[in-house]
């Protein structure tokens, strides 16, 4: 089966499984997919479906060699999680259509395997997204900016384990976070909606929203 056919098959199977689950009143499958999408934001929808269908409780995945670089090793006998990885090729230097700074392009996909952190042993991972301190008035400034952009801000336990999600002009935060964690999460979600994470980080951390 070709990769493109496999991608469509993955999507079709996922949608059909979700439809069947919802028909019989089981909304847990929908929550599982939404939670997986929140955990694996940098992955394509097809790969999120692949990960969720093979290991629903996965939290952090990486390839065999990537884990090795982090000082961790895949446990003996563990089965990899199949995903579709892009095939990258360099563009010809004499290609007039090449944009400045562009040197490679995805020309297809191939099967690859990743492993969840629970399938590995070794050195502890550094705390991911751990923040401390007092955001002071910047939490309110950022919230005011969000409101001024017409973005709805809500809280919901249902997005756990994700700390925040954003789509369709709405940001949802996980309640119970510390002031520093909530500020960092909100800034992260604003960056997703505004489309420029570097700008958001600079504005929040150095100037403040009211001074922009």
Which pLDDT value is given to residue 70? 83
Structure pTM? 0.52
176: left (phi over 0), alpha (psi -120 to 50) or beta: left
pLDDT on residue 113: 92
Structural domain boundaries in the chain:
3-122, 138-211
Q: Looking at residues 101-115, what average pLDDT do you find?
A: 73
pLDDT at 199 over 50: no
Instruction: Quick: pLDDT tens for 51-66.
Output: 888 888 898 898 999 8
Q: Among 25-34, 74-83, 129-138, 168-177, where is mean pLDDT lowest?
A: 25-34
Highest-scoring range by mean pLDDT, 75-79, 166-170, 208-212:
75-79
Q: Say which residues have a Cβ less than 8 Å from residue 118's Cβ, sequence separation at least 6.
A: 57, 58, 59
Q: What's the farthest any 2 CA atoms get from each other in the chain?
A: 58
Confidence class of residue 211 from pLDDT cuts 50, 70 and 90? very low
Residue position matching structure tokens 């709805």: 152
From the number of C-beta atoms within 10 Å of its C-beta (0-12, 13-18, 19+), residue 48 rates as: buried
Q: Which of 73, 37, 43, 42 is nearest to 56 (CA)?
A: 37
Contact (CB, 8 A) for 147 and 153: yes
Q: Token pair 């960092």 is at which residue?
A: 184
Asked if residue 45 has pLDDT above 80, the reply is: no
Report the C-alpha gap between 144 and 200 in whole angstroms.
14
Mean residue pLDDT of the chain comes to 75
Q: Where are the beta strands (DSSP E) in the chain?
A: 61-62, 72-74, 81-90, 104-116, 120-122, 152-155, 164-167, 170-173
Greater model confidence, 206 or 176: 176
């Amino acid at each position: 089966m070709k990769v493109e056919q496999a991608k469509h098959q993955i999507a079709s199977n996922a949608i059909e499984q979700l439809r069947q689950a919802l028909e019989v009143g089981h909304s847990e499958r929908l929550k599982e997919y939404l939670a997986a999408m929140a955990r694996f934001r940098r992955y394509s929808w097809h790969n999120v479906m692949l990960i969720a269908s093979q290991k629903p409780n996965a939290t952090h995945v990486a390839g065999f060699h990537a884990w090795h670089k982090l000082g961790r090793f895949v446990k003996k006998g563990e089965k990899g999680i199949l995903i579709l990885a892009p095939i990258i090729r360099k563009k010809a230097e004499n290609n007039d259509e090449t944009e400045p700074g562009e040197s490679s392009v995805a020309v297809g996909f191939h099967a690859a395997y990743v492993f969840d952190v629970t399938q590995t042993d070794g050195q502890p991972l550094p705390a991911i997204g751990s923040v401390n301190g007092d955001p002071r008035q910047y939490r309110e400034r950022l919230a005011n900016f969000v409101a001024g952009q017409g973005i709805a801000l809500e809280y919901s336990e249902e997005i756990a384990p994700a700390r925040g999600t954003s789509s369709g002009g709405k940001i949802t935060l996980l309640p119970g976070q510390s002031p520093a964690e909530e500020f960092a999460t909100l800034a992260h979600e604003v960056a997703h909606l505004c489309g420029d994470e570097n700008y958001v980080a600079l504005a929040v951390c150095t100037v403040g929203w009211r001074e922009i």
